[in-house]
Amino acid sequence: MAEAKNYIFKFQELAEILVKQQGLSEGLWGIYIEFGLGAANIKTVPGEQALAPAAINVVQGIGIQKFDEPNNLTVDAAKVNPPSKSASSKRSSKSDR
């Protein structure tokens, strides 16, 4: 079997991975992508002198952001990364004091 050269993730799969990595267990979190815009004059035909103004979009960062309502980008942190029993028992014992 051939070795995989790339893996594709759905937005919600990425959100789930990042929610778990950050240890979040509350709220709706979804994918956030930050773009940068640049410009340059580029050759439109190789070997010729013709130039054309062009826009260049770059991905500057990928992360997650909190959302107020669920959508196709979001996951519910409480469902995909519920708090551990030890963390919840620590919280309840503190509130019992």
pLDDT tens for 36-93 read 999 999 998 888 889 999 999 999 999 999 999 999 999 999 999 999 876 555 555 5
In this structure, the dihedral spanned by the alpha carbons of residues 9, 11, 17 and 21, taken in order and rounded to 10 degrees, is 130
DSSP 62: E
pLDDT grade for 94, boundaries at 50, 70 and 90: low
pLDDT grade for 96, boundaries at 50, 70 and 90: low
Output the six-digit token pair for 93: 């014992």
The residues spanned by each domain of the chain are: 11-95
Q: CB 32: neighbour CB atoms within 10 A?
A: 15
Give the pLDDT score at 33: 97
The answer to whether the beta carbons of residues 31 and 14 sit under 8 Å apart is yes
